[in-house]
Homo-oligomer: A and B are copies of this chain.
Amino acid sequence: MKEKLSIVKIGGNVIEDEKALAIFLTAFSKLEGLKILVHGGGKLATQLATKLGVESKMIDGRRITDAETVDIITMVYGGLANKKIVAQLQAKKINAIGLSGADGNSIQAHKRPVKEIDYGFVGDIDGVNSELLSNLLSINLTPIFCAISHDGDGQLLNTNADTIASEIAIGMASLYKTTLYYCFEKKGVLLDITDDNSVVKNINTTKYNELLSEGVIADGMLPKLHNSFHALNNTVEKVCLGDVTMLDKNTEFFTTLTL
């Protein structure tokens, strides 16, 4: 029987807030079995860019990553955020190891082709080095990924953290019984965006299509759900969406997605 593996993605709002991060890392450290963490960097990169006088260009909520910006992202996501998480998990006796996609050639990508918009040094993922990750897990290491991939030709690439999480989950699904957790500020998919208690507990493909046509899933939830069903359609067993309490076995107040 395959061993269980949890892939947990946390959003930038947790990374930005020291208290929220400490609460999350405690919950993550208690999660049983093999696990991998993927983190974004949130507004920290924008804040550093502002201090350095580098303009943050966004189109449709997506960052345009020029050469200066990819350096800033590498400093903030790959350096500060990643190493702080690793050091704090070590204090909780989790043998964490921080990785970008360049480390161990763990996430191979290519620079997004220029069509209407030139996103700059942004990566579209080609593959995940599941053999490496499996080796690291087997010596009791817990990989902690920042949202950076590489093109194999020396260039680091800013990459969507939700996508990294789902691609890792897909890459590992043939080796492990894989669950993907998207941990964010809401308790799950909400029927009424103004009511935090209107969580839809279970969504399957039929329900997903219903909610899509009713317009319940919109804005930032669209790519998250798209990534989730992409993962489910590629042998990931289960995807869960919710806030930090989702990692606690005593609560079931979150959204579970299955095919």
Contact = CB atoms under 8 A, between A and B. Distances in A.
Interface in A27-65: 48, 51-52
A88 B103 CA distance: 11
A95 to B, nearest CB: 6
Contacts of A103: 83, 86, 96-98
A141 B78 CA distance: 19
A156 B83 CA distance: 8
A246 interface: no
Pick the most buried of A48, A75, A82, A155: most chain B CB atoms within 10 A of its CB: A75
Nearest to A91: B154
A153 interface: yes
Contacts of A77: 79
Interface string A130-153: 001001000101000000101011
A10 B37 CA distance: 31
Q: Which interface class (under 10, 10 to 19, 20 to 34, 35 or more) fits A?
A: 35 or more
Contact of A79 (B52, B79, B96, B105): B79
Majority SS at the chain A contact face? helix
Given A90-B102, A102-B83, A139 B150 contact: no
Given A98-B100, A139-B135, A91 B52 contact: no
A88 to B, nearest CB: 5
A84 interface: yes
A80 B91 contact: no
A26 to B, nearest CB: 12
Interface in A90-146: 90-91, 95-100, 102-105, 132, 135, 139, 141
A209 to B, nearest CB: 41
A77 B75 CA distance: 8
21 contacts: A48-B75, A74-B84, A77-B79, A78-B78, A78-B79, A78-B83, A79-B79, A79-B80, A79-B82, A79-B83, A86-B102, A86-B103, A87-B154, A87-B156, A88-B154, A90-B150, A95-B104, A96-B104, A98-B98, A104-B141, A132-B141
Given A74-B79, A87-B150, A87-B156, 7 more contacts: A51-B52, A77-B79, A78-B80, A86-B102, A91-B153, A95-B104, A96-B102
